[in-house]
Amino acid sequence: MKELTKKLAWLSRIDISEDETDYLADELKKQIEYLSILDDLESGPALPDGEPAALREDKVQPSVDRKVLFMNTPHHNSDYFILPDSSRK
């Protein structure tokens, strides 16, 4: 579990100490054990009678004005946000 925790930290681009690795590995183990308990539970249909839930009708609504949307972001062009490249470490 410790190696998995180190790999997850690396993939998340975060540096964690050895103590933090031990703590997070223990927490991850607890969460996986809890989820395995949930896997063992039997689940029935979401609705007792098996009928599908009523769906709401889609309604077209106006979008947010782009000037307002981009007002508080430092990097954008007229169509989209520009984010820093996170693919390189």
Q: What is the pLDDT of residues 16-38, one digit of tens each?
A: 999 999 999 999 999 999 988 88
Q: What is the CATH number of the domain that holds 24?
A: 1.10.20
Answer whether residue 33 is part of any domain.
Answer: yes
Report DSSP state, residue 72.
Answer: T
Structural tokens at position 58: 């889609």
How much is the average pLDDT of 5-20? 93
Domain total for the chain? 1
Predicted local confidence at residue 68, as pLDDT = 87
In a domain, 19, yes or no: yes
Q: How do residues 50-82 score in pLDDT, each as one tens digit?
A: 667 788 898 999 988 888 888 888 888 878 888
22 in any annotated domain: yes
Is position 86 within any domain? no
Q: Is residue 76 part of a domain?
A: no
Tell me, yes or no, whether 74 lies in a domain: no
Distances (CA, A) of 65 to 19, 46, 81, 82: 47, 39, 14, 18
**37, part of any domain:** yes
Domain extent, residue 34, equals: 1-41
What one-character DSSP code corresponds to residue 12? T
Assess if residue 7 is contained within a domain.
Answer: yes
